[in-house]
Chains A and B, each alone.
Chain A
Amino acid sequence: MICYALIIYSGFDSVLSAGIIGTAASFLPELNKQSAYLKKMPPAIYCGVFVGMSSAVIVPSVGFILAAGILAGVIYILSKNIFLGMGGKLGTMAFGGVLLVSLINWLL
């Protein structure tokens, strides 16, 4: 959602917004190096950033982004042990979330 907001309200392009939030998220584990929870946050946040990179043409509202982000998160949890270490997996999950919400939106 932060990525989407950056794109819409600050005028940054999608790559710049994703880079800013992804870089910031990658420093989260430094806040508490003992925390296993914080270590797992950057990939999940980066996955959400990809959802937020959707253009306003595809994503008509913030609720859409929220739903797509939640779905992408569910897919992320369900696919934890599939294609371990493969690049592009996070983006594919984000794409799946956005696509599913688009489909539901179109059906409704």
Chain B
Amino acid sequence: MMDYVIIIITGMAGATLTFYVSDQLKQGRVRASALLSLLVSLFFHFFPELLSDFLTKSIPIVFIGSSFIGMVSSSAKASYLRLAVAGCLFSIIYLNRDQFFDGYGGALGALAFISLLTSMNLSEALSKNGNLSAGITLIKKMFTKSES
């Protein structure tokens, strides 16, 4: 259980840190993703015994995958919350992925793309002007009316 929590936190950190480095520190998207992933993988390359085998293998992979989410351009209406949600989604998808994706280059990127699209569409749907939030508000009113 703790391992899964660490993986989810890694996913969120990868997405938000990469976006921060590329957007706020103006390092560019490729450099932000590659450099941060390099640092994380070097850390586990030199200290493989620090955590369990599962975490030592998975953290660099989840980090680089979620860093692809952080490579989103700032013009694409990305906020840190959306990226954190996308990173969390990515980690969950990664933990439950089918063995089909194993060994295929770019599979992590495809999963990251799906996570980011899902997160952004979810936030658009739940935004104040969205039909979904209007529906939820209506249902809430129905229940509060029936209680009173």
Interface residues of A (CB under 8 A from B): 12-16, 18-23, 25-27, 42-43, 45-46, 50-55, 57-59, 68, 72, 83-99, 102
Contact = CB atoms under 8 A, between A and B. Distances in A.
Contact of B37 (A18, A25, A27, A91): A18
Interface string B21-36: 0000001111101110
A95 B15 CA distance: 20
Report the contact-size class of chain B (Cβ under 8 Å from the partner). Answer: 35 or more
Contacts of B30: 22, 25-26, 42-43, 45-46
A95 B72 contact: no
B73 A84 contact: yes
B115 A88 contact: yes
A57 to B, nearest CB: 5
**Main DSSP-derived SS at the A contact region:** helix
A51 B106 contact: yes
Contacts of B33: 22, 46
Q: What 5 A-B pairs have minimum CB-CB distances, sorted nearest first?
A: A91-B109, A22-B34, A85-B73, A19-B38, A94-B106
Contacts of A52: 105
Given A85-B73, A87-B68, A87-B72, A22 B38 contact: yes
A98 B106 contact: yes
